[in-house]
Amino acid sequence: MRMVDLIIKKRNKESLTESEINWIINGYTEGKIPDYQVASLAMAICFQDMNVDERFYLTNAIVNSGDAIDLSNITGKTVDKHSTGGVGDKTTLALGPLVASCNVKLAKMSGRGLGHTGGTLDKLESIPGFNIELSEDDFIKQVNDIGIAVISQTKEICPADKKLYALRDVTGTVESIPLIAASVMSKKIASGAETIVLDVKVGSGAFMKDLEGAKELANAMVKIGKKFNRNISALITNMEEPLGEAVGNSLEVIEAIETLKGNGPREFEDLVLNLGAHILVNAGVAESIDTAIGILKTQIDNHEALNKFKEFIKAQGGNELVVNNYDLLPKAKYVYEVKANKTGYIKAINATAVGNYAMMLGAGRETKDSVIDLAVGLKIKKKIADYINEDSIIGEIHSNFELDEIKIEQFRQLFQTSDEKVIKTPLILGVVK
Ligand code: URA
**Stretch 49-68: mean pLDDT, rounded?**
97
Q: Is any atom of ligand 1 closer than 6 Å to the C-beta of 326?
A: no
The number of angstroms, rounded, from the C-alpha of 216 to the middle of its chain's C-alpha atoms is 18
Our answer to whether residue 82 is catalytic in this structure is yes
Q: Which entry of 108, 168, 365, 383 is annotated as an active-site residue?
A: 168
Model confidence at 319, pLDDT cuts 50, 70, 90, reads very high
Phi and psi (nearest 5°) for 328?
-80, -10
Establish whether 35 is a catalytic residue: no
Q: According to CATH, where is 1.20.970.10 located in the chain?
A: 3-48
237-249: burial string, b at 16+ Cβ within 10 Å, e else = bbbbbbbbbbbbb
According to CATH, where is 3.40.1030.10 located in the chain? 78-323
Catalytic residue among 10, 55, 90, 187: 187
Q: Which residues make up the CATH 3.90.1170.30 domain(s) of the chain? A: 330-418
Strand partners, 142: none
For the domain made up of 330-418, give the CATH fold: Aldehyde Oxidoreductase; domain 3 (3.90.1170)
- How much is the mean pLDDT over the chain? 96
Segment 349-361 shows an average pLDDT of 94
pLDDT at 115: 72
pLDDT attached to residue 207: 81
Q: Is 200 in the pocket of ligand 1 (CB under 6 A)?
A: no
CA–CA distances in Å: residue 425 to residues 62, 84, 266, 348, 384:
36, 19, 15, 11, 9
Q: What is the mean pLDDT of residues 127-155?
A: 94
Give yes or no for a contact between 36 and 4, defined as CB atoms under 8 angstroms apart.
no
Residue scoring higher pLDDT (352 or 317): 317
Q: How confident is the model at residue 204 (pLDDT cuts 50, 70, 90)?
A: confident
Distance (angstroms) between ligand 1 centre and the Cα of 84 equals: 7
Task: Kindly indicate the confidence band of residue 117, based on its pLDDT and cuts at 50, 70 and 90.
Answer: confident
Q: Is 126 a catalytic residue?
A: no
Is residue 70 flagged as an active site residue? no
161 is catalytic: yes
In three-state secondary structure terms, 326 is helix
- The average pLDDT across 386-411 equals 97
Is residue 113 over pLDDT 90? no
**165 Cβ below 6 A of ligand 1:** yes
Stretch 240-266: mean pLDDT, rounded? Answer: 97
Mean pLDDT over 401-429 rounds to 96
Summarised one tens digit per residue, pLDDT across range 264-310 is: 999 999 999 999 999 999 999 999 999 999 999 999 999 999 999 99
Half-sphere exposure of 270 (CA within 13 A, CB side): 12
What's the Cα-to-Cα distance from 209 to each of 46, 47, 213, 239, 240, rounded to whole Å? 17, 19, 8, 9, 9
CA 9 to chain centroid? 35
CB 236 within 8 A of CB 361: no
Task: Give yes or no for residue 116 having a pLDDT over 80.
Answer: no
How far apart are alpha carbons 314 and 221 in whole angstroms?
Answer: 35
What's the average model confidence in pLDDT over 237-260?
96
184 CB less than 6 Å from ligand 1?
Answer: yes
- Identify whether the C-beta of residue 367 lies closer than 8 Å to the C-beta of residue 433: no
- What CATH class is the domain 78-323? alpha beta
Can you spell out the DSSP letters for 217-261?
HHHHHHHHHHHTT-EEEEEEEE-SS-SSSEESHHHHHHHHHHHHT
Q: Is 104 in the pocket of ligand 1 (CB under 6 A)?
A: no
Mean pLDDT of 350-369: 91
Ligand 1, atom 6: nearest CA belongs to which residue?
Answer: 180
- Site to substitute for ligand 1 among 63, 84, 175, most atoms within 8 A of C-beta: 84
At residue 176 the predicted structure's pLDDT band, cuts being 50, 70 and 90, is: very high
Q: According to the CATH classification, is domain 3-48 in 1.20.970.10? A: yes
- Looking at the DSSP bridge assignments, the partners of residue 83 are 199
Question: What pLDDT, on a 0 to 100 scale, did the predictor assign at position 322?
Answer: 98
Measured from the CA of 179, which atom of ligand 1 is nearest?
A: 6
Mean pLDDT across 104-124: 86
What number is the average pLDDT over the span 370-389? Answer: 96
Instruction: Give the global pTM.
Output: 0.95
Catalytic residue among 40, 110, 183, 204: 183
How open is the CA angle 324-297-81, to the nearest 5 degrees? 85
Instruction: Please give the single-letter amino acid code of residue 279.
Output: I
Check: CB of residue 358 under 8 Å from CB of residue 378. Answer: yes
Q: Is the pLDDT of residue 224 over 90?
A: yes
| pLDDT (tens digit per residue) in 30-51 | 999 999 999 999 999 999 999 9
Ligand 1 atom closest to 180 (CA): 6
In angstroms, the CA 384 to CA 386 distance is 6
Indicate if the pLDDT at residue 429 is higher than 90: yes
What integer pLDDT is reported at residue 82 of this predicted model?
94
Per-residue pLDDT for 229 more than 80? yes
pLDDT of residue 135: 92
| Residue 183 near ligand 1, beta carbon < 6 Å | yes
Q: What is the pLDDT, as a whole number, of residue 367?
A: 83
Q: 186 in ligand 1 pocket by Cβ < 6 Å?
A: no
> Residue of the nearest CA to atom 8 in ligand 1?
180
